[in-house]
Structure 1
Amino acid sequence: MKQFLKHTKKQNQYLVSLFSVGLVSILCLLIRDLVDYKVVGYVLLVVVSLLAIFLEILPVLLAAIISALTLDFFFIKPYYNFHIDKAEDALLLLMFFVIALINAVLTYKIRKAEQIVQVKEARISTMKLYNTLLDSLSHELRTPIATIIGSVGTLQGKSVNLSEANKAGLLSEMEKAALRLNNQVENLLNMSRLESGYIQPKTDWCDIRELVYNVLSNLNENLQQHKVSVKSNDYLPLFKLDYGLTEHIIYNLIYNASLYTPKGAAIAIEIKFNPDVPDGI
């Protein structure tokens, strides 16, 4: 399928190349008696240069060849044949063809070099982001692991006499740490899947306010010691988004807020709709 699309795209580029040269040639043909053929040559050269900025190398080379043939056939006397009487005209046509080819190749190479630089910069930015996220995740993973190991060690310790309430408390801490650890691992896996393209967002119309309240309901136990408020516009439209991924993002934000704020702290959630922003939210 990808190769078919690539092939179709290249076919379209050939058509664009032929259409551009043909259109300019017809326009120049209408005023052939008013302008010198050298001017037509410059115009066609500009067309080839512009095509080289946007198209692949082969369609541009085709445009250069067709331009040279068109210039010879329609604009250099005698018209409507490929015979050239003057050596000067033959040299000019040859120079036009060579310049068009060199210009096309150089422009294409410059464009490719810019694309390579952009890809490298994007990779560097991605690596920096990954390093930052991995550093953050490594810290996030250590905390619940340390909690689980510490609690297990305490429960297994024979020298420590624990009441049933203390044991229940340790087990509860272990459960919270395990859930937190599972959440962090799931975040990391989702990041990798999204980056590799394994997960493709499936967008559908969703009520963002309903989504937020569902997340708050799932985090009810974690938010018992916090004052949570939700503020939103009176009339919110439906938004086209991936419900599961968006729910996971909001879950992480509110969950982290519950973890890293002191007990009794207020957590304010505000949902705004801005029609001037592409996504609206």
Structure 2
Amino acid sequence: MSIIITSFICYIISDYLGYKSIALVLLLIVSLLAIVFDFASVLIAAILSALIWDYFFIPPHYTLHVDTTEDALMLIMYFIIALVNGVLTTKIRKIEKITQLKEEKLKSIKLYNTLLDSISHELRTPISSIYGSTDNLLNNQKNLTEENKVNLITEIHKASERLNRLVGNLLNISRLESGNIKIKKDWCNVNELISVVISSLEQELKKHKVEILIDEQFPLLKLDYGLIEQVVINIIYNASIYTAENTTIKCEIKIENYNFIILISDNGCGISEDEIGKIFDKFYRIKRTSTNGNGLGLSIAKGFIEAHNGKIKAFNNELKGLSFEIRIPLISNEIMNLNTIKNEQ
């Protein structure tokens, strides 16, 4: 189609352009087509443009016969140049594709090695804790007080939760990488969701002050409960392990202009501006901390929020700590006021 349109335009202005100049125009179009289309399409374009140039532009017009040897050689050279150009461009595209695949493969290998190193390190600590505690319970029962036994069982429970969190994060990052995240929206009680999150992080939050700012009559929202719960867990868990004891973790929840907003803040020491742009990257961990972690939590949180067509950002707050703001757009039929439900009942 491009060849035909170009030929038509050239035919209209052929009185101002010599047929040799028109050959260059058609050759340019074939070259541009070679960048986009495969070799077969370029071959057809080269043959078609050569025939059109011969029939309509090379004297004598409206015949495939060529009078002069010079014009015949030009026609042959035109076709050869168009064909070679198409072949070379196609090969270049193939080489670029192979190079890209190699880069992606190297990236995958690097990601796999990083994941393997992270997992092996992360698994070692809770497994050692479980092994040590169970060994002590089995082989030293007579010398253990009830308090000792409770402490050991608590250690096993904490290590098991850590393992469960690690496995959950690995499964979630796998789902995000494969594009298998499917949003299942249903009516969600946000007050209940936050209560479940705080309850599940009871051990981690023991030495922190927690403030929850949410209206008791906060409306029901249509969200994927499981994904949003995991997002809030990951962010609050990070705040609990990366801030000092007795720091405050505040979670403020509101709706503004049909946006569901979750603001999670702490009054720790914040992070550098350079790191703010990196903390949502897979496996990234803040350099100045020795806290254990695999660097997956915030990456997963970002993926889950984006699956809701929302946005998440991090910034240093007025208290010199770190804040995370989540914004999820809603439409009117995804918000249900609790008073409306009571009136209907």
Amino acid at match of 1:219: S
Q: Give the length in aligned residue pairs.
A: 251
The verdict on how the C-alpha distance between 1:229 and 1:73 changes in structure 2, with shifts beyond 3 A counting, is: farther
Which whole-Å deviations, capped at 9, do the CAs of 1:30-81 have from their partners, x for residues lacking one?
Answer: 1112211111110011111111112222212221111111111111122222
Question: Is the CA contact 1:144–1:181 (under 8 Å) kept in the aligned structure 2?
Answer: yes
1:139 aligns with 2:125: no
Question: Is the CA contact 2:211–2:250 (under 8 Å) kept in the aligned structure 1?
Answer: yes
| From 98, 103, 108, the counterpart of 1:116 | 98
The verdict on how the C-alpha distance between 1:247 and 1:158 changes in structure 2, with shifts beyond 3 A counting, is: closer
1:47 aligns with 2:4: no
Question: Is the CA contact 1:141–1:181 (under 8 Å) kept in the aligned structure 2?
Answer: yes
**Matching residue of 1:4:** none
Q: Percent identity?
A: 49
Distance 2:98 2:184 in 1: 32
Amino acid at match of 2:76: L
Deviation at 1:98, TM superposition (A): 0.5
1:69 aligns with 2:26: no
Length-normalised TM-score, structure 2: 0.63
| From 130, 147, 161, the counterpart of 2:112 | 130
Question: Is the CA contact 1:204–1:242 (under 8 Å) kept in the aligned structure 2?
Answer: yes
Distance 1:160 1:41 in 2: 98
Distance 2:51 2:185 in 1: 54
**Matching residue of 2:320:** none
**Matching residue of 2:173:** 191
Greater strand fraction, Structure 1 or Structure 2: 2
Distance 1:125 1:255 in 2: 29
**Matching residue of 1:16:** none
Which aligned pairs between 1:10-159 and structure 2 lie closer than 5 A?
A: 19-158=1-140
Two-structure CA RMSD over aligned residues (Å): 3.3
**Matching residue of 1:202:** 183
Deviation at 1:118, TM superposition (A): 2.1
The verdict on how the C-alpha distance between 1:119 and 1:211 changes in structure 2, with shifts beyond 3 A counting, is: farther
Question: Is the CA contact 2:197–2:232 (under 8 Å) kept in the aligned structure 1?
Answer: no
Which whole-Å deviations, capped at 9, do the CAs of 1:131-167 have from their partners, x for residues lacking one?
Answer: 2232222211111111100110110123752222221
Amino acid at match of 1:32: S
Distance 1:50 1:203 in 2: 45
Distance 1:215 1:64 in 2: 67
The verdict on how the C-alpha distance between 1:219 and 1:263 changes in structure 2, with shifts beyond 3 A counting, is: farther
SS at match of 1:263: coil
| From 257, 263, 268, the counterpart of 2:245 | 263
Distance 1:107 1:58 in 2: 12
**Matching residue of 2:277:** none
Length-normalised TM-score, structure 1: 0.76
SS at match of 1:84: coil
SS at match of 2:143: coil
Distance 1:74 1:160 in 2: 105
Question: Is the CA contact 1:154–1:160 (under 8 Å) kept in the aligned structure 2?
Answer: no
| From 244, 248, 252, the counterpart of 2:230 | 248
Distance 2:138 2:39 in 1: 71
Distance 1:75 1:142 in 2: 78
Which segment drifts farther, 243-252 or 136-145?
Answer: 243-252
Deviation at 1:230, TM superposition (A): 6.8
Which whole-Å deviations, capped at 9, do the CAs of 1:110-136 have from their partners, x for residues lacking one?
Answer: 122122222222332232233223222
Distance 2:229 2:238 in 1: 14
Deviation at 1:176, TM superposition (A): 1.7
Deviation at 1:247, TM superposition (A): 4.1
Deviation at 1:182, TM superposition (A): 1.6
Question: Is the CA contact 2:126–2:159 (under 8 Å) kept in the aligned structure 1?
Answer: yes
Distance 1:129 1:246 in 2: 26
Deviation at 1:215, TM superposition (A): 6.6
**Matching residue of 2:162:** 180
Question: Is the CA contact 2:201–2:233 (under 8 Å) kept in the aligned structure 1?
Answer: no
Which segment drifts farther, 79-88 or 127-136?
Answer: 127-136
Distance 1:61 1:214 in 2: 66
